[in-house]
Structure 1
Amino acid sequence: MTEQDTETKVEEAQTAALELAKLSDDRRSAALHDIADAIDDSHEEILEANAKDVAEAEEMLEAGEYTQALVDRLKLDEAKLESITEMVRSVAGQDDPLGKTLAARKLDEDMELYKLSVPIGVIGTVFESRPDALVQIAALSMKSGNAVILKGGSEALHSNRVLYDIIRDATADMPAGWAHLIEAHEEVDTLLGMDDAVDLLMPRGSSEFVGYIEDNTSIPVLGHTEGICHVYVDSEADLEMATDIAYDAKVQYPAVCNAVETLLVHESVAADFLPDIAARYADAGVEVRGDERTRELIDAEEATDADWETEYGDLIVAVRVVDSLSAAIDHVTAHGSKHTESIVTEDADRASTFMRSLDSASVFHNVSTRFSDGYRYGLGAEVGISTGKTHARGPVGLEGLTTYRWHIEGDGNLVGTYAGEDAKPFLHEDFDGEWNPGHRSGE
């Protein structure tokens, strides 16, 4: 596609965003149910397209170009499609994120200030092999009143095209251009240069990829990078619980960013814990890479320095025995990606120390890292997991796709009244109230 094609799509998205923001929540939610219905009616078509992508990806896997994790993320089946439509309906059922009064302040008896939640506008997304990401992002954009430019990976080309066509056709009565699909690398480069039209970029991929986006645009970037997640088994852990958590965090779905990659074990429980988890891992086909003290207790491959900073996305886990709670915290701080960490311990004070000492977006106590997910958090879905600190962190749902603006309701008020020697003082009194267009509280 030509550069003009991309610019036209973004211009259409700008117009659509303004219209979408004015639509009622009932209208936007109804459109999401239409999308879910259309996907339910199109399983055969979707799976046929996905089979093409998977077959091509498996050829690339054999050639050493793709990883097994990428192929696993790419695959769709009946159960996955049902979970996708469940997700869309869950997003539709969320509270309206728009028009909320976030703050209300009386500036004067006849002048009130309101802070209201509004859509961001036009969002550009570039995401990984998972075709369900396209539906998640589109659904959250619709519910939050944002127009969206979607760029999926070439490995999911057929799946993304079919899913996009289904979404577009199902929302034909919505503002034209609210969702656009782009495919070529040149289109991404064009998108990165449109800082006057695109309000936010959300890349999902490696640190190198997100860094490339950040280095080549002046558009604000909400980055989703690697998930180098940790589980720390403390000296005060319930070891049966710890084994279950470490197993779930690695095996339940190893190809995703919230799967554990490094298991840290306190030296006082290592001899009791490691043989049990090693046996569970072995049964599941997990390759264990351990430091010297780990390898003294179980059979494992030798871990290298690179293993502590690798997102495997596969049935591989790095294991290190640590001397203390502080050593575990130091390891996570030095090697983590600020995604998700979990401590397994029965000591509340030690749990508190671990959780308050880390700078990750999500930090858990006695649960699997796999809970770091927008749907599981009750957000309906997520457009990604932000490992940065602005403006959203962790799983980014509807709230992360909104910003705010200020409204004032007055009665001919003039700045001059509140300036100079005879200036009238402001009240600046906060109150509980909702913005009502054309009215002030009590009217």
Structure 2
Amino acid sequence: MKDAIDAKGLIETLGAQARAAAAELAFAPAQAKREALLAAAEAVRAGREAILAANGADLAYGAEKGLTPAMMDRLMLDEARIEGIVKGLIAVAEQHDPVGEVIAEWDRPTGLHIRRVRTPIGVIGVIYESRPNVTADAGALCLKSGNAVILRGGSESFHSSRAIHASMVEGLRAAGLPEAAIQLVPTRDRAMVTEMLHAIQYIDVIVPRGGKGLVGLVQREARVPVFAHLEGICHIYADAAADLEKARRVVLNAKTRRTGICGAMECLLIDRAFYEAHGPVLVEDLVKAGVEVRTEGDLLKVPGTVQAAPDDFGREFLDMICAAKIVDGVDGAIAHIRRYGSSHTESILTEDDATAARFFQRLDSAILMRNASTQFADGGEFGMGAEIGIATGKLHARGPVGAEQLTTFKYLVEGDGTIRA
């Protein structure tokens, strides 16, 4: 009971501070937010040795907990990834500030002049697991969009997140913005997750970043609205009209570049006509690269493949494993994805415009691609600088959630002594 009481008191303190900070951020000058993010980027670069040391402690903790190689990869920071954090902060800093943007404007016969204007949501709660870079990405995007944020990192990334958060606070301080604009929950206590999910008086929306267990928990228990995707069950469909060399390059990249991210390909669908023309070359490439391909039918003849279990289709492996299946044309692929997909990202490999158009029109995933790797399902690759997550719901935000998606709008209505008849 004591832990629950402490957690409740802590979220009330953090929430009250965030509300006060959000009230100031709502009208903070765009230049001040830009300066804060540039100063934070410099602080991350200057403090990289301390961040790497903190990450070393987290990696030891993760190894002791028995994290999978994919999870350890998500957790790991090196010089290149820290420089990626720096570049992400700079990219967000230099983006157009969405707050105050006039989305639409019109006049009414009554004499009213009406504007629909972007405005911050308020306080964002971000709950994430092992990726410490989320501390910077989420903090930056919330600040850019005029929102305060309460960050609850995973127990695995506890030390790394604290070190990165210190740099974010340094940036706020340098720009004269409230330090409570970006707060990090200072405890590993799991009770804080429950308290955040119930904190409707302090938090306006929750964004979970992590595996199926975390996201499912948030979606089941949250009283606060949620932007989330449950799983990244991403498909690639190789059409009869696919260019063979393009297809081989894209499929390998989509599965093997980084297996632990939500944009990794989890299921390869091969048009029967493609298979008859080229054989199982795409599956052979994957097996040769060290991927365990779980399949059925003719594809099981490929040495190194294994029989797929019923639940392997519609499964997020986040590992050097994928499912593969032969389908009858684009309609077969569409039917499979509708049944097993998670509305995240799907890609079609084809040189036929009509087939690509049918794939785009008849599927409703948040991101649909043509002749491109699903690993591009990322806010940074979309030119957003960073993302706070990929939303697969249909309300408010879909796909990469950047600064613009973290705003809502209000109506500004002006008259001249105007009255309603």
TM-score normalised by length of structure 1: 0.90
Please give the residue correspondences for 1:415-426 in structure 2 after superposition, counting only pairs within 5 Å. 418-419=420-421
Contact 2:129–2:155, Cα closer than 8 Å, also in 1 = no
Provide the secondary structure at the position in 2 that maps to 1:171: helix
Please give the residue correspondences for 1:224-373 in structure 2 after superposition, counting only pairs within 5 Å. 224-271=229-276, 273=278, 275-373=280-378
Equivalent-residue separation in structure 2 for 1:198 and 1:364 (angstroms): 34
Contact 1:340–1:360, Cα closer than 8 Å, also in 2 = yes
CA deviations on 1:180-232 (whole Å, 9 max, x unpaired) are 11132212222222212211111123344323223323211111321100000
Aligned residue in 1 for 2:83: 82
Aligned residue in 2 for 1:177: 180
**Of 168-177 and 303-312, the range deviating more from structure 2:** 168-177
Equivalent-residue separation in structure 2 for 1:367 and 1:193 (angstroms): 40
Provide the secondary structure at the position in 2 that maps to 1:153: coil
Aligned residue in 2 for 1:435: none
Equivalent-residue separation in structure 2 for 1:10 and 1:323 (angstroms): 53
Could you say if the C-alpha distance between residues 83 and 335 of structure 1 is closer, same or farther in structure 2, counting changes exceeding 3 Å?
A: same
Contact 1:374–1:397, Cα closer than 8 Å, also in 2 = yes
Equivalent-residue separation in structure 2 for 1:25 and 1:407 (angstroms): 20
Q: What is the one-letter code of the residue matched to 1:163?
A: I
Q: Point out where structure 2 has 5 or more consecutive residues left out of the alignment.
A: 1-5
Aligned residue in 1 for 2:165: 164
Aligned residue in 2 for 1:431: none
Equivalent-residue separation in structure 1 for 2:215 and 2:291 (angstroms): 29
Equivalent-residue separation in structure 2 for 1:335 and 1:164 (angstroms): 38
Q: Which residue of the other structure, out of 407, 420, 436, is the alignment partner of 2:412?
A: 407
Provide the secondary structure at the position in 1 that maps to 2:237: strand
Say whether 1:140 aligns with 2:145. Answer: no
* Structure 1 segments (4+ residues) deviating >6 Å: none
Equivalent-residue separation in structure 2 for 1:127 and 1:394 (angstroms): 18
Equivalent-residue separation in structure 1 for 2:45 and 2:357 (angstroms): 45
Contact 1:100–1:117, Cα closer than 8 Å, also in 2 = yes
CA deviations on 1:236-284 (whole Å, 9 max, x unpaired) are 1111111111011011111100010100001122255454334432343
Aligned residue in 2 for 1:4: 9
User: Higher Cα Rg: structure 1 or 2?
Assistant: 1
Aligned residue in 1 for 2:382: 377
Equivalent-residue separation in structure 1 for 2:415 and 2:271 (angstroms): 63
CA deviations on 1:99-127 (whole Å, 9 max, x unpaired) are 01111121357531111001000001101
Equivalent-residue separation in structure 1 for 2:72 and 2:279 (angstroms): 30
TM-score normalised by length of structure 2: 0.94
Provide the secondary structure at the position in 2 that maps to 1:148: strand
Equivalent-residue separation in structure 1 for 2:39 and 2:51 (angstroms): 16
Equivalent-residue separation in structure 2 for 1:116 and 1:291 (angstroms): 53
Equivalent-residue separation in structure 1 for 2:332 and 2:288 (angstroms): 30
Contact 2:105–2:116, Cα closer than 8 Å, also in 1 = yes
Equivalent-residue separation in structure 1 for 2:289 and 2:62 (angstroms): 24
Contact 1:204–1:225, Cα closer than 8 Å, also in 2 = no
Equivalent-residue separation in structure 1 for 2:288 and 2:58 (angstroms): 30
CA deviations on 1:308-359 (whole Å, 9 max, x unpaired) are 1211111111111112221111111111111000010111111111111112
Aligned residue in 1 for 2:96: 95
Aligned alpha-carbon RMSD (Å): 1.5
Percent identity (aligned): 39
Q: Point out where structure 1 has 5 or more consecutive residues left out of the alignment.
A: 420-443
Could you say if the C-alpha distance between residues 2 and 211 of structure 1 is closer, same or farther in structure 2, counting changes exceeding 3 Å?
A: closer
Equivalent-residue separation in structure 2 for 1:277 and 1:111 (angstroms): 61
Equivalent-residue separation in structure 1 for 2:312 and 2:112 (angstroms): 60
Q: What is the one-letter code of the residue matched to 2:311?
A: A
Equivalent-residue separation in structure 1 for 2:48 and 2:217 (angstroms): 36
